[in-house]
Structures are given as C-alpha cells and as structure tokens.
Structure 1
Amino acid sequence: MSPATALLVDVVVAVGLVVVLPLGLSLLGPRTVPGAGGPWWPAAGAVAAAGAWLPSGPLAQGATVPFLVGAVVLLGAAVRLVLPGPTPPLPPEVRLAVGVALVMPGVGAAAMLADRGGWGLLGFSGTYLTLTVPHMLFAGFAAALVAGLTVVVDRDTPARGAGRPAAARLGALGVPLGTGTVLVGYFVSDLVELLGALVLTGALWCTAWAVLGIPARRGARVLLAVGSVALGASMLLAVWWAVGELTGAPHPGIGLMAATHGLANALGFALCTLLGLGRVAREAQRRPGPPGRSPRTGTLLQERPRPAHTPSRSPGRRQA
C-alpha cells in the first residue's frame, strides 16, 4: 500500500471512529448503548485514530485501548439486544442486524491492536489488518445498522403504504449474512468471498431501495438519496474487485479502491445516510402522537410506552 493510500485509509478510519460510530450509536440511544449520544465515544475514537500517526509499538497500541473498551461495551449491548427481553420490542431481523452492527467494531479493534503493534492476527498481517478496520466500521457497523434502522423507520412511518417493508426486511437479513460470508471467505476461498460480496451487494441494494422510500422532508430526503446512490455505485466496485481476485481478471488496485469504493462508502453512504436518518428521527419527534423518542438524542430505538394496566382487586382481599 502506497504512502498516499495509507494516509487516505487513516483519514477514513478517523472519520469512522470520531464521527460515524458515535453518530450511529446516538440513533440507538443510551437505553441500548451506554453513553450513546454523549462525548465519550468521539473522544475514545479520537484517541484511537491518533494512534495511526505513531510508530508501531506499545504507545501506538496503547492508543487503541479506548476503542477496545468501547468494543467490549458494544458487545455487551449486542448480547442484551439479541436476547429475548421486554426492551426494546423489535422484530427479529432488526435485532439481528443491529446486533451484528454492534459486534463488528470489536473485530476492527482487534485488528487495529495487532496492526499498531506490527503483529499478525489469525494468519493476516500488514495491509489486510489495516484495511480490516475501515471495513468493520463501514461495511460492518454502518451497513448493518442502517439496514436494521431502516426496518424500524419503515415500520413507524406515519403514511400507510409509504415505505418498502419487504425490501427493508430483506436488507436487514441479508446484510449480516453477506458480511459473515465475506469474513468466512477470507479463511476459506476467494469463491466464498465472492458469494458473500454478491449477497451483501444485493442486500444493501434492497436497503438502499427501502431508504429511498422513507417519507422525509427535503433535507433528510437529499441526504438519504445521496447515501443510496453512493452505496449502489460503491458495491459494484466491491463485486468487480471480488471477481478479479477470483478469476485474475483486471480489477482496481487497492489505491483506486480506497479512493473510490472506500470514500463512497464512508462519506457518501455511511455518513450521509446516518445524518439523514437522524433528521428523520427528529422530524418524527415534532409530529403529534404518543411519546417515544428522546428529544435530546433523536434515537430510533426506544422503549415504547406500555399500556396502562390496573391490577384487579379481589373483593375479599384487604389492601396493604
């Protein structure tokens, strides 16, 4: 990887750690992820991102510690989310997609720790580990999170028939499946990796189509449209890369992929779509209706109010 490409990857990772990860967590809210919407997450991301500018060694590895701690917190949040429980009452495909989104930063944190120390990890080293970090932040965390939240937004849309629920559900199921298959392909074969890329691409296109159907005001609608178009183009590049790796056909190099696929996913898809979903959440707060979302954080996952219940009193039982 050339110095210019390495610099670009470091900048993209910094955007993911300082902006995209905290922004996505704020949409989940502090009931789902401790501290979501607060200053700790961007501060921890800034420390980890700063480690990229340090020489490989203990000091650079020490900078990853806040990211590792955050990854453990996210893992605990994922376990609480996927286990059956009263809060939040979510469809299973949303639990799956958001749960996977919360796990993926942990893979990136482990890769960052090994990379900053000049180590190998599970047979990978160097460029593979360096590129694992942005992939886990964007293709892992952001993509799965958007897929899950799109189902929630579509379900809560005020206009009956305005959303695209089938596409949203397919995306929420397919993104975790495709991401997992790609990860398995790293250890098995380029063919499995290509199959995973195809599944992931199809699922993300379903999510992009569902996102385009979300009713929103102009500002949010523009952000969501930009994110969906950027995603469609960037995933074509991902498939081109996977086909080239399998068949030996000409395909973009790492530098070109970072400058096109990487930037399109990071700034076009992840950042714009999450900003658009945040605007959708804030717009929903202004509509009259039952309370639910926090006006401070604009969360999309929230505890829905339970119907009032008055316990029946037995006529012969005296109240304490």
Structure 2
Amino acid sequence: MPDVRLVNVTKRYGKIVAVNKVNLHVYDKEYFALLGPSGCGKTTLLRLIAGLIKPDEGEIYIGDKLVNDVPPEDRDVGFVFQTFALFPHLNVWNNVIYGPRVKGFDMKKASRIGDEVLEMVRLHERLDAFPNELSGGMMQRIAVARALAAGSRLLLLDEPLGQLDAKVRNELRYEIRRMAKDLGLTAIHVTHDQSEAMAISDRIAVMKKGRILQVGTPEELYMNPKSVFVAHFVGESNFLEGYVSSVGSKTITVELRNGIKVEAVHKNAERLKKGERVVLAVRPEAFTIEKGIKRGKNSIEGVVERTTFEGTNIRYEV
C-alpha cells in the first residue's frame, strides 16, 4: 500500500517558484487534502506526484520507490481532473473499463471490475449513456469510477468538485471519501474550498506561495492555527491586535489598541513575553452578543451595524 513522501521538492517556471522546498508525508490509506488559494502551488504539487511534470530539486517517493524519473503510466496512480476528461466518443461502460483493458486484462476481468465500480458510484443503470447525456455530477462519478477501475492504490484528485453546483458538490464529496476508504486507497485531494477540505480529510496541508504553512487534522488547524493566514483561510476569525500585558501558565492577558484587556487561552503561553505584539484570532462561535452595556471579563462594547440571515446562522457586523 502506498504512502507518499516529498523531500525538499522545488518546481520553477522561469523566475516563478511554483513549489518551494516542500517536505510532506502522506500516510498509507489516508485521505489528505492540499488546501490553498489559486496559484499557491497545490495543483503543481499534485502533478509532480503524478509524474506529469518533473521536480527541479528534491525527491518524490511512492511507497519506498524513488519516482522522480518514473513516467506517469508506471507510477500506478489514478488521476481525477476538474474537467472530468471523459472520452466523448465512448459510452459510460467503455469509459470505465478503458483502464483495465489498457492494462491487458481480459474482457471477463475488465467487466467484473467495471460492474463493481459502477455499482459503487451508483450509475450501473447508465451503461450506454454518453458523457454529453449526463449531468455534471454523473460525469464526475464516472471520472472517479474510471480512476478506480484502473486498480491504482493512489488516487489523486485535482479540484474534482469545482465545476459542480453546491448541492451536488456537498453530496459527492462524501461519496468520494467513502469509496476511497472502502477500497483502502491513499487519496490526495486538491481544493481551495476550506469547508470541503475540513469535511472529508484525515489531514490537511495549507499552502501559500508554493510553501506548506501547516499540516494537521481539521480540528488542529481550526483550533490551533500557527499563523494569521491559516486562521483566516481555515474557517472564519475575528482578528484583534494588541500587546501581552501578563503571562500565566496557560493563559495570557492582552491589552487591545483601545485599552481593553482580554484573557486568552494559549497552549504555549509561557513562550510569550510581556510587551510582545500579538494577534488574537477569535472564532465567531466564541462570541456572545448581549443587549445593553455589561462591563464583565472579556467584554467589548460595540454597535450592531448590520445583520445578515444565512439560514442556520445569523451574521452580525459590530
């Protein structure tokens, strides 16, 4: 079963450093997400793992094998593209069994594999349909089925849900994770959608300008971001700037710019020093809004300027 390791991997396009000295270890059978804004290098990193491009520096391992010079067809990798990339002249059945047939499987074995994966993606009743007769969600299911049918133990997904509407996207992301877990695959999923990454991933790497800023479980990234960028990109935060006025064993007191002092929990509080400039990231759910003026601990006065109804939430701008 494959794990994936990248050691000091760099990729340049002229003067642009698309991937900058990246070190990463994706474990066997892990569903892993590369998360970041457009242009951060996440798709380039995926293409490096697939062998579609070569690194300028560093080493890429799939399992115990160094694959820098191994062509894509010999890496035993399944790739799901954002644009579906189905063969328009082939129906669903022939798209799905294409991989097994290319690998030299006889029709009996290819058909058995095709039946299994089409049952898994719940499209076994559309065998004769052509891609232009399918919805976006169906086409992406077929793209996933084709990758699974090839028998690869490593599945790479490049923004696989990017062209789908919100409802289909939310449904399909759980299906893809379920299939990968049921088959015991290692999956690396590229996305710019933090809610998508949080919902389906065992761990996430947050990228910015070709570098990995932090790797962790969704809970770790959400509760203990190591930078303002990660706090901003994973979930939502309210940022309060100030200076450390006192340090406890697990808490710090911060004096904000307006002179108000607030107490904050910090697991490495002892590393901070009095007078040090800090930024507090406060998640929206940590706030309670009350009418009137109450000067209690960690209370900040303000005026509600706007409310927005968002279904399950109401957003207050204060």
If the TM-score is normalised by the length of the shorter chain, which range does it land in? Answer: under 0.3
Higher helix share: 1
What's the TM-score, normalizing by structure 2?
A: 0.26
TM-score by length of 1: 0.26
Is the radius of gyration larger for structure 1 or structure 2? 2
Instruction: Identify the structure with the greater strand proportion.
Output: 2
